[in-house]
Amino acid sequence: MSKFEDNPFSDPAIDNPFADPSVQQVAKSTNNATRGLDDYNPFDGQQNANQATPPQQPTQPAIMQAVSPPPTGGQYTRPSQQQQSQGPPQNFTTADFQELKRRQEELERKAEELARREAELRAGSAGRRNNWPPLPAFCPIQPCFYQDINVDIPLEFQRIVRHLYHLWMFHSLVLSLNIVGGLALLFTTGSFTVFGLSILYFVLLTPFSFICWYRPIYKAFRSDSSFNFMVFFFIFLFQMIITLVQSIGFSGGGSCGLITSIEAFRFNVGAGIVTMLVTIGFITTLVADVMLMTKVHRIYRSTGASIAKAQEEFTTEFMRNQHVQTAASSAAAAAVNAQIANANRY
């Protein structure tokens, strides 16, 4: 009968999961957070009391302070009069300040020299006066060539050109010493052959070597001319052969070489010593010739020059020659006149 006493309209006796205390606590905290969000009004001008407002600084107008611009790189700015009156900085000594001043003057002097050389280059070779050989003004013979390695030769080739110029001077010095050795042999042995030929070698080889191999290599480095390089190699090879023969010193060859020096010791020790010094000079010159020849050839190959380029330069320069152009015009005119005369004859 108990079943009939229950109310059929009451809630069924089912386990309610939300009756758990832990679940109810989580639900209560969620409702509180939701209520906080619902109470928030974004359009309310009042700020939350929990947020601390930082104190505002009293506003003042901004003041611009003058800032000195930093010095630009690579330029020198001259100090003001006030800085100059203060003297050198405290961390600089007077010697350091004098050294800096000296360097500044040196740089200014070099800048003026570069400006002068640049003006000379712009003026062209027409405005240059020949300055070699350096003869006095009263001499009736005037200089024949213009030579300035610092102006004409590029910076990377100036050293090798100076070495070649010094080599030519050393050749001339050894040839002059050869005259002294020939004079010593003339006094000891009575032979005039070495002395006479030594004078002839000095008179001929000194100017010819300058014109035939030094001037071509000077022009080659000045204008990067393959043709002048080839001329230098060809003539300088003969120079090396002549120096080798003079170093050996064949009898009657006109040079105080090794053989001549050995024979001179039989007659007089002093003459032998003099001729041996000349022999050492010839051998030293030959070694320097080989070394500089190798170095110039290495530079020549590194510049990309070739025989074909030398032939092309020779053809161009040959056709630009005024005498060649005049001769070609005359030949062409003569050929045309001959053709006209033959046509009128028939």
pLDDT digits (tens, 9 = 90+) for 287-322: 999 999 999 999 988 876 555 655 565 566 545 555
Number of domains comprising the chain: 2
Does 58 fall in a domain?
A: no
Same domain, 161 and 309: yes
Q: Provide CB contacts within 8 A for 170, sequence distance 6+.
A: 281, 284, 285, 288
How many C-beta neighbours within 10 Å does residue 191 have?
17
pLDDT band at 10; cut points 50, 70, 90: low
Torsion on CA atoms 283, 284, 288, 290, rounded to nearest 10: 20
Does 335 fall in a domain?
A: no
Same domain, 142 and 190: no
99: pLDDT strictly greater than 70: yes
Does 331 fall in a domain?
A: no
Domain that holds residue 120: 104-146
21: pLDDT strictly greater than 80: no
End position of a domain, from candidates 146, 172, 207? 146
Same domain, 136 and 273: no
Does 121 fall in a domain?
A: yes
Does 232 fall in a domain?
A: yes
Does 223 fall in a domain?
A: yes
Same domain, 132 and 160: no
Around 311, how many Cα atoms within 13 Å sit in the side-chain half-sphere?
Answer: 3
User: pLDDT, tens digit, for every residue of 152-165?
Assistant: 898 899 999 999 99
Same domain, 245 and 272: yes
Same domain, 135 and 256: no
Torsion on CA atoms 17, 21, 23, 29, rounded to nearest 10: 150
Tokens 């300040």 belong to residue: 97
Same domain, 277 and 167: yes
Same domain, 314 and 217: yes
Does 313 fall in a domain?
A: yes
Residue 47: the pLDDT is 47
Same domain, 171 and 316: yes
Average confidence (pLDDT) over 175-202: 92
Q: What is the average pLDDT value for the chain, to the nearest integer?
A: 76
Same domain, 249 and 138: no
- With residues binned 3-state (H G I as helix, E B as strand, rest as coil), the percentages for the chain, rounded to 5, are 70, 0, 30
Q: Which pTM value belongs to this model?
A: 0.58
Residues listed for the chain = 346
Does 14 fall in a domain?
A: no
